């Protein structure tokens, strides 16, 4: 099969980590009889510099006609003083909206080889954790009415949290369906003791839960959820929550896996087209130094293979190759920690190692 993949390398370390993910996709394609055609397009700060806008229309059109979109990272201090609608992050919000990607899946799993890099005590982590955070992506406060006005205390700013029944229903169904393939437990996170939008969220999630009698549902306030992630992360299976809460909680969860450089994500809609990206930022302070961790982007490529292309066996092989590379003791600086017997490598060397292990895994499958 031949697949078209739109590639948005973006800013900062984006081009470096995307190059390693493409390296892995090429190995998977070569050994499995699939061909990937890449179309590089602009978004973020680099798009602003080249076209004056963070999301050119050409980028949107190419992404819409692709089978999947692979994204590095966008943003950086160079563009921090621009108006909100012209900042790099506006491109990210815009592409999600344009492609109808309303569900963001962010797995947070502690690899056994990275136990020493986890900031939590072994007594807290226990045998590890494996949670999936399902974040609503195109609604809520990030897309609500916003602005500035004059009030009694002078100039004031406002951002509005709005959710419809339809938006809550569809993200809840994504979470419940995902849980049926896991441990059949969903934790719905809200702030129903304060926010009216959260009260509607809770009502709708409970109605959707009746469609999935085999799945256990619990409600949890967001402040308690934040505490439980660091107190007892193993208690979670699938967590479903709003745009802003999911943004914050998934970043918190990423840090207890050893590094934010380890977490991939998939942004999905009603079809198979999805956008795949690491959850970390563009890290301009280390851009060009060859030390960025490419594993989150490589794992995002595995999710691309699984969810958009339907290549589950290849996705499994990529994930096993990453685990094998970590078991072999290779580490980029962000996950090296103080562990003994590890070897610190750069971005490209880490990608090469994963590629070798992927070749071995796929060849063994064919053999």
Sign of the CA dihedral 257, 246, 73, 80?
negative
State how beta strands 185-190 and 68-73 pair: unpaired
Q: Does 264 lie in the same domain as 242?
A: no
Q: Is 150 helix (H, G, I), strand (E, B) or coil?
A: strand
Contacts of 162 (CB under 8 A, 6+ apart): 139, 140, 143, 144, 145, 197
pLDDT, tens digit, for every residue of 131-160? 999 999 989 999 899 999 999 999 999 999
Handedness of CA 247, 253, 259, 264 (dihedral sign): negative
Of 331, 308, 323, 334, nearest to 357 by C-alpha is 323
Name the catalytic one among 80, 223, 285, 327: 223
Last residue of a domain, one of 256, 274, 307: 256
CATH of the domain at 241: 3.40.718.10
In the annotation, is 191 catalytic? yes
- 326 phi/psi in degrees, rounded to 5: -70, -40
Q: Which of 67, 190, 247, 334 is catalytic?
A: 247
pLDDT at residue 365 is higher than 80: no
pLDDT in tens, 3-48: 999 999 999 999 999 999 999 999 999 989 999 999 999 999 999 9
| pTM for the full predicted model | 0.88
Residues 231 and 298 reside in one and the same domain:
no
Q: Which of 3, 67, 102, 142 is catalytic?
A: 142
Q: Please state, for a pLDDT cut of 70, what percent of the chain lies above it.
A: 99
297-347 pLDDT, tens digit per residue, is 999 999 999 999 999 999 999 999 999 999 999 999 988 876 778 999 999
Catalytic residue among 23, 163, 191, 276: 191
Give the total number of structural domains in the chain: 2
Q: Are both 236 and 269 inside the same structural domain? A: no
N-to-C CA span, the chain: 21
251 catalytic residue (yes or no): yes
Task: Name residues whose C-beta falls within 8 Å of residue 63's C-beta, 6 or more positions apart in sequence.
Answer: 6, 41, 69, 95, 98, 99, 273, 275
Contact 282, 76 (CB under 8 A): yes
* Residues 168 and 271 reside in one and the same domain: no
Q: Is 109 a catalytic residue?
A: no
Sole residue written with tokens 């406002």: 158
Asked whether residue 94 falls in the same domain as residue 167, the answer is: no
Where in the sequence is the domain holding 151, given as residue range(s)? 119-256
Q: Is 247 a catalytic residue?
A: yes
Q: Determine the Cα angle at 93 with ends 280 and 105, to 5°.
A: 55
Q: Which of 251, 316, 328, 352 is catalytic?
A: 251
Q: State how far the Cα of 164 lies from the Cα of 184, in Å rounded to an integer.
A: 26
Domain match, 305 and 271 both: yes
- 223 as an active site residue: the answer is yes
Residues 133 and 148 occupy one common structural domain: yes
């Amino acid at each position: 099969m031949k697949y078209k993949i739109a590639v948005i390398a973006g800013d900062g370390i984006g081009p470096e980590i995307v190059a390693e993910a493409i390296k892995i996709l090429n190995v998977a394609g070569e050994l499995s009889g699939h061909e990937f055609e890449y179309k590089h397009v602009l978004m973020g700060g680099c798009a602003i510099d080249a076209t004056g806008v963070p999301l050119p229309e050409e980028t949107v059109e190419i992404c819409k006609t692709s089978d999947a979109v692979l994204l590095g990272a966008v943003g950086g201090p160079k563009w921090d003083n621009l108006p909100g609608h012209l900042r790099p992050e506006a491109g990210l919000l815009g592409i999600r909206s344009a492609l109808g990607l309303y569900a963001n899946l962010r797995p947070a799993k502690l690899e056994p080889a990275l136990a020493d890099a986890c900031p939590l005590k072994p007594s807290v982590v226990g045998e590890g954790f494996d949670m999936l955070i399902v974040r609503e992506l195109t609604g809520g406060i990030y897309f609500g009415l916003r602005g500035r006005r004059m009030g009694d205390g002078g100039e004031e700013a406002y951002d509005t949290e709005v959710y419809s029944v339809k938006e809550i229903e569809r993200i809840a169904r994504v979470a419940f369906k995902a849980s049926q393939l896991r441990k059949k437990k969903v934790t719905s996170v809200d702030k129903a003791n304060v926010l009216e939008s959260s009260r509607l969220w809770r009502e709708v999630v409970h109605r959707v839960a009746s469609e999935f009698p085999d799945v256990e549902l619990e409600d949890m306030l967001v402040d308690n959820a934040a505490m439980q992630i660091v107190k007892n992360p193993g208690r979670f299976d699938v967590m479903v929550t709003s745009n802003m809460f999911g943004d914050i909680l998934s970043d918190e969860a990423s840090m207890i896996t050893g590094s934010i450089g380890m977490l991939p994500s998939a942004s999905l809609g009603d079809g198979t087209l999805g956008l795949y990206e690491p959850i970390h930022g563009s890290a301009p302070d280390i851009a060009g130094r060859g030390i960025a961790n490419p594993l989150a982007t490589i794992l995002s490529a595995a999710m691309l293979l699984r969810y958009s292309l339907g290549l589950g066996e290849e996705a499994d092989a990529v994930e096993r190759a990453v685990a094998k590379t970590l078991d072999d003791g290779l580490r980029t600086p962000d996950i090296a920690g103080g562990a003994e017997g590890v070897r610190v490598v750069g971005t490209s060397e880490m990608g090469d190692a994963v590629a070798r292990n992927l070749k071995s895994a796929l060849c063994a499958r064919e053999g």
